[in-house]
A and B are shown apart, each in its own frame.
Chain A
Amino acid sequence: MTPPCVSLQHVSKHYERGGQRLPVLSDIHFDIQPGDYLALMGPSGSGKSTLLNLIAGIDQPSSGAIVVGGTDIATLGERALADWRAANIGFIFQFYNLMPVLNALENVELPLLLTGLNRRQRRERALFALELVGLSDRLQHYPSELSGGQQQRVAIARAIVSDPTLLVADEPTGDLDRKSGEEILTLLERLNRDAGKTIIMVTHDQKAADAARSVRHLEKGELSALEVRA
Chain B
Amino acid sequence: MLTLFFRFALRNTLRHRLRSLLTLAGLIVAILAFGLLQTIISAWYAGVNAASPNRLISRNAISLTFPLPLAYAERIRAQEGIERLSWANWFGGVYIDESNFFPSFAVDAPSYFALYPEFVLPAEQQAAFIRDRRGAVVGAKLAKRFGWEVGDVVPLRGTIYPGNWDFVVRGIYHGRDASTDENQFFFQWDYLNERLRNTLPGMSNQVGIYLLQLAPGQNAAGVSVRVDAEFRNSLAETLTETEKAFQMSFVAMTGAIVSAIEIVSYVVILIIMAVMANTMAMAARERSREYATLKALGFPPHGIGMLVLAESLLLALAGGAIAVALTPPLASAISHQLEQFFPVFAVQTVTMQHQALAALGIGCVAAILPALRAMRIRITDGLRAIA
- Size category of the binding interface on chain A: 20 to 34
Of B5-13, B250-258, B317-325, which stretch is located at the interface?
B5-13
Closest to B12 in A: A101
Q: Do residues B290 and A97 form an inter-chain contact, with CB atoms below 8 A?
A: yes
Q: Do residues B296 and A56 form an inter-chain contact, with CB atoms below 8 A?
A: yes
Contact of B1 among A53, A78, A91, A113 (CB under 8 A): A113
Q: Collect the chain B residues with CB atoms within 8 Å of residue A78's CB.
A: 301
Q: Collect the chain B residues with CB atoms within 8 Å of residue A99's CB.
A: 8, 290, 293-294
Main secondary structure of the interface of B (DSSP, over half): helix
Q: Do residues A106 and B7 form an inter-chain contact, with CB atoms below 8 A?
A: yes
Q: Kindly state whether residue B298 has any CB partner on chain A within 8 Å.
A: yes
Q: How far is the CB of A119 from chain B (nearest CB, A)?
A: 7
Those of A72-90 within 8 Å (CB) of chain B: 78-79, 82-87, 89
Mask, B357-385, CB within 8 Å of A = 1, is 00000000000000000000001100100
Q: Kindly state whether residue B299 has any CB partner on chain A within 8 Å.
A: yes
Q: How far is the CB of A194 from chain B (nearest CB, A)?
A: 24
Those of A52-69 within 8 Å (CB) of chain B: 53, 56, 58-59
Q: Do residues B300 and A53 form an inter-chain contact, with CB atoms below 8 A?
A: no
Contact of A111 among B15, B297, B379 (CB under 8 A): B297
Q: Do residues B8 and A101 form an inter-chain contact, with CB atoms below 8 A?
A: yes
Q: Collect the chain A residues with CB atoms within 8 Å of residue B123's CB.
A: none
Q: Do residues A93 and B299 form an inter-chain contact, with CB atoms below 8 A?
A: no
A86 with B298, Cβ < 8 A, contacts A97-B293, A113-B5, A119-B3 known? yes
- Interface centre among B5, B8, B293, by most chain A C-beta atoms within 10 angstroms, is B293
Q: Kindly state whether residue B134 has any CB partner on chain A within 8 Å.
A: no
Those of A97-118 within 8 Å (CB) of chain B: 97, 99-102, 106, 109-111, 113-114
Q: How far is the CB of A114 from chain B (nearest CB, A)?
A: 5
Those of B1-36 within 8 Å (CB) of chain A: 1, 3-5, 7-8, 11-12, 15
A101 with B1, Cβ < 8 A, contacts A56-B296, A85-B296, A86-B297 known? no
How many Å lie between the Cα of A163 and that of B297 in the bound state?
13
Q: Kindly state whether residue B295 has any CB partner on chain A within 8 Å.
A: yes
How many Å lie between the Cα of A88 and that of B83 in the bound state?
85
Closest 10 CB pairs of A and B: A86-B298, A101-B11, A58-B379, A97-B293, A85-B298, A113-B1, A111-B297, A82-B298, A82-B300, A114-B298
Between-chain CB contacts (< 8 Å), 16 pairs? A58-B295, A59-B379, A79-B300, A82-B299, A85-B297, A85-B298, A86-B297, A91-B297, A93-B383, A101-B15, A102-B7, A102-B11, A110-B4, A113-B5, A114-B298, A114-B299
Q: Which residues of B contact A (CB under 8 A)?
A: 1, 3-5, 7-8, 11-12, 15, 289-290, 293-301, 379-380, 383
